[in-house]
Amino acid sequence: ASLRVSSMEVGQRSINFGRRPVRELHENTVLLRNRSAAPLLYKVSKSGLSASFDLSIAKEDRLGCVRPYAVRPIRFVFRPSLPGPFLDSFTVRNLQDVSSAVQVTVKAHAHRSASLHLSPHALDFGPLAISAAVPPPRVQHGAGGTQRLTIVNVAKGARTCSVSVAPELLLLDEP
């Protein structure tokens, strides 16, 4: 009888997602390579820290076998739940050689996405004359269009928006 030792290699030990919005799903894959003639039995485990709830490893990739000299992708999903810096890791263990374990570090900076977009930020309608007898003139700016205010709600909830004009900026015609 001969003793076969399996040897593994993880393709990427550090993954940086960069700046990502909170609650947005990001998928990635780490390649696990069997560098021996024996099948590789492996197990993937998360760190157990509170931040590890933001990492999810595909169920079929948590425990498995890699054929000799083959490569197997390990898929995981990152979905940040809180804004701020994120640093966590998961470990890939060779079940036949307990001393052979590789830690994969996942980094990111999660930020809140904007919930309201206003374009443009400032409008200049010029002097306006408001009278019951005379309709207000059309304010021309640039290539011959009226000023337009666009408000876009990019949040999930409903919003109530109001537009107000400072009374000192209005020129009122008295009959």
- Residue 140: per-residue pLDDT: 45
- Residue 3: per-residue pLDDT: 65
Confidence of residue 31 (pLDDT cuts 50, 70, 90): very high
Instruction: Tell which wins on pLDDT, 56 or 119.
Output: 56
Distance between CA atoms of 24 and 69, rounded to whole angstroms? 36
The predicted-structure confidence for 126-153, as pLDDT tens digits, reads as follows 665 555 554 544 444 445 445 566 777 7
Buried b (16+ CB within 10 A) or exposed e, 54-84: bbebeeebeeeebeeeeebebebebbbeeee
38 with 4: CB under 8 angstroms? yes
- Residue 139: per-residue pLDDT: 45
- Residue 159: per-residue pLDDT: 74
The predicted-structure confidence for 47-77, as pLDDT tens digits, reads as follows 988 888 999 998 999 999 999 999 999 999 9
**By mean pLDDT, which of 6-20, 94-108, 113-127 is the weakest?**
113-127
- Residue 168: per-residue pLDDT: 64
Q: Work out the mean pLDDT of the chain and round it to a whole number.
A: 81
3 state SS of 162: coil
Whether omega for the bond prior to residue 137 falls within 30 degrees of 0, making it cis, is: no
User: Measuring CA to CA, how many Å separate 107 from each of 11, 85, 90, 129?
Assistant: 16, 8, 12, 58
Whether the pTM exceeds 0.85: the reply is no
